[in-house]
Amino acid sequence: MSPRRRVTYAAAVVVALVFALTAQAWAVDPARASQLEGGTQKLWVFFTDKGLTRAEEARAIDAFRAELPERARLRRAKVGFDVNINDVPVAARYVEGVAATGVEVVTRSRWLNAVSVFADGEQAAVIAALPFVRETRPVGRGTKRMPDMTPADGQHSAVPTGRVLDYGESQGQLEQIQVDQLHDEGLDGTGVLIAMFDTGFDTDHQVYRHLNIVAERDFINDDAETADQPGDPEGQDGHGTATLSCVGGKYAGELYGGSYEAGFVLCKTEILDEEIQIEEDYWEEAIEWADSLGADVVSSSLGYLEWYTYEDMDGNTAVTTIAADMAAARGIVVVNSMGNEGYSEWLYMIAPADGDSVLSIGAVDIYGDRVDFSSVGPTYDGRMKPDVMALGLSAYVATTGDTASYANASGTSFSCPLTAGAVGLLVQAHPDWSPMDIIEALRSTATQSSSPDTLMGWGIVQAHDARYANWAGVESGEVPVARVIWASPNPTSRGTLVGFILPERGRALVAIYDASGRLVRTLTDRVLSAGPHALRWDGRDESSHPVASGVYFARLRAAGGVRSSTKVAVVR
């Protein structure tokens, strides 16, 4: 066992400052809230279009396609997603028009076709009236509650296993989700690119001596340094250092992450200090950047709730949720913490964990029992959440105390990257699998896949079983089959593939409905064999007319009492 400094209970107060879990509750600051009545506030400004003619749109799309690295094009190709108008930058003249009102333009979002700005009440009114502005929306502000830390109790002490890797005290958290079995089979994340979204990263720690950092960016200070720097709150990079170790750490006899040989894109998106505004726009900006670099997986131990209501947890409202689903449509597996609201008044998941294409992770203890703080489902529109679970109580992590310091930390902030590490191994094993393929493989093999619920979803990740869950072509029947329907790409502009699995042969009806429940298109209504099926919906109604932008529902009714539905967002 290598020498190291462990965090004790007596030091918990100090460590709490280091491990500010940003994927948890935010208490509204009344002084900040009052600014929405007339003082300077942060706004998202959404535009009506990209301000281009059809010919200009085509040229802009071709230009963006040419700039994408090959790995990004290949990742998009596996889900049938090319490049569309949403990838084109916002219109420069629209941005100039907004800036002409005297506001400060902070960020620009291609996918949302929007900018974020600081504006006073008068400026906000002028901006809302501009002919090219579709809507404006305030960005929430808040302050943090610090998490509890548990003492290092030795419950994960290493035991001889006869394996090649000596996991040290990280053994239990990897064995619980079968990552160790995938390591035994030679998987380590090689060739996979994982983007980490967090408060910052201290990569001087011994577990990162091997780390392959492909790119890094501080979206807060607009530079390429993700470690602490002058002006940052003390301990800014602590939380990110800990979460990164669960995915990419590697130090024999001490700690291993799931995908320790992957390439990493480090994104500093979240401000630690209690007095500083916490902004979703950095998260959204980062995911577009990660897409442009060709990232395969995003691990986000972050989330937002205070400026939303439960009704907003519908998969289509929060800025980060919309962006996460758009990333999934482009082939990125987005892994996000459920949040630590299980015993708070809020109770439910935090955005973007409500996304229907987001893999949302809850927390269990080392014995496999759900931890009370782990947020629950369902989403407001009735979808099951969380998706799966991993260790979130006393997870063994690297800390920023020195280059050889470790601690036990608690929160869905840690069950998330543990799962992301497993996802990286699945991407390595099945580079042709789409995000929904991976999500369904994990769901269908998790510990309670036959009886999912709103407390633990489909259960604890079983990554080794998921690797061999040929759910896209089930033959043996040895793997539990999840009775679900899904769509990819989603959101879509040119059509989507609707996939589903039937547990037995029988009549199956698959149809598309609009938000009011009106039948839009019947995709099939006939006897089908047991197993997987996929149908293409071209985004048209029964009369072959293209449907308008909006939310639609693909619904499955089949023999054996199967009833399932999923949302499909159409963006024109």
- Whether 259 maps to a domain, the answer reads yes
Residue 556: strand pairing partners: 510, 564
pLDDT attached to residue 141: 55
Domain-embedded: residue 385: yes
**pLDDT by 10s per residue, the chain, length 572:** 344 434 332 233 223 333 333 333 333 333 333 333 447 888 899 999 999 999 999 999 999 999 999 999 999 988 888 899 999 999 999 999 999 999 989 889 999 999 999 999 999 999 999 999 999 988 765 444 444 445 445 444 444 455 679 999 999 999 999 999 999 999 999 999 999 999 899 999 999 999 999 999 999 888 988 988 888 888 889 999 999 999 999 999 999 999 999 999 999 988 775 434 456 788 999 999 999 999 999 999 988 877 788 999 999 898 899 999 999 999 999 999 999 999 888 999 999 999 989 999 999 999 999 999 999 999 998 888 999 999 999 999 999 988 999 999 999 999 999 999 999 999 999 998 999 889 989 998 899 988 888 999 999 999 999 998 754 433 333 333 444 677 777 778 778 878 787 878 888 899 999 888 889 999 999 888 777 777 889 899 999 899 998 889 998 988 776 778 888 888 87
Q: What is the pLDDT of residue 565?
A: 80
Structure tokens at 12: 């918990």
CATH number for 537: 2.60.40.4070
pTM for the predicted model, two decimal places? 0.77
Whether residues 416 and 524 fall in one domain? no
Choose one of 473, 502, 523: the last residue of a domain: 473
Q: Is residue 13 part of a domain?
A: no
- Give yes or no: residues 68 and 214 share one domain: no
What's 188's domain CATH number? 3.40.50.200
**Torsion on CA atoms 514, 555, 386, 380, rounded to nearest 10:** 30
**Same domain? 189 vs 109:** no
- Give the whole-angstrom CA distance, residue 345 versus residue 342: 8
pLDDT, position 212: 97
Cα gap 354→316, rounded to integer Å: 9
Q: Please report where in the chains the tokens 């709730």 appear, as a residue.
A: 305
DSSP string, 53-104: -HHHHHHHHHHHHHHS-HHHHHHHHTTT----GGGSPPPHHHHHHHHTTTPE
> Do 373 and 247 share a structural domain?
yes
E strand or H helix at 18 = helix 12-18
Q: What is the pLDDT, as a whole number, of residue 479?
A: 34
User: Both 128 and 161 in a single domain?
Assistant: no
**Domain endpoint, select from 86, 115, 143:** 143
- 489 and 468 share one domain: no
Domain end position, chosen among 415, 441, 473: 473
Residue 302: what pLDDT? 86
Q: Is 83 a member of any domain?
A: yes
Are 454 and 331 in a shared domain? yes
Q: In 109-253, which residue ranges form alpha helices assigned H by DSSP?
A: 121-128, 171-175, 179-184, 238-248
Domain-embedded: residue 115: yes
Containing structural domain, residue 105? 26-143
Question: Is there a contact between 393 and 376 (Cβ–Cβ < 8 Å)?
Answer: no
- Whether residue 378 is found in the same domain as residue 446: yes
Strands 212-218 and 562-570: unpaired
| d(C-alpha 143, C-alpha 146), whole Å | 10
What's the CA gap between 201 and 204, in Å, rounded? 9
Same domain, 95 and 176: no
431 and 541 co-located in one domain? no
Q: Is residue 280 part of a domain?
A: yes
Do 77 and 35 form a contact (C-beta atoms < 8 A)? no
- Count of domains forming the chain: 3
Say whether both 85 and 209 belong to one domain: no
Q: Do residues 278 and 192 share a domain?
A: yes
Q: How far is CA 186 from CA 163, 179, 292, 425, 567, in A?
A: 12, 11, 29, 10, 37
Cis-peptide into 532, omega within 30 deg? no
288 falls within a domain: yes
Q: Is residue 21 part of a domain?
A: no
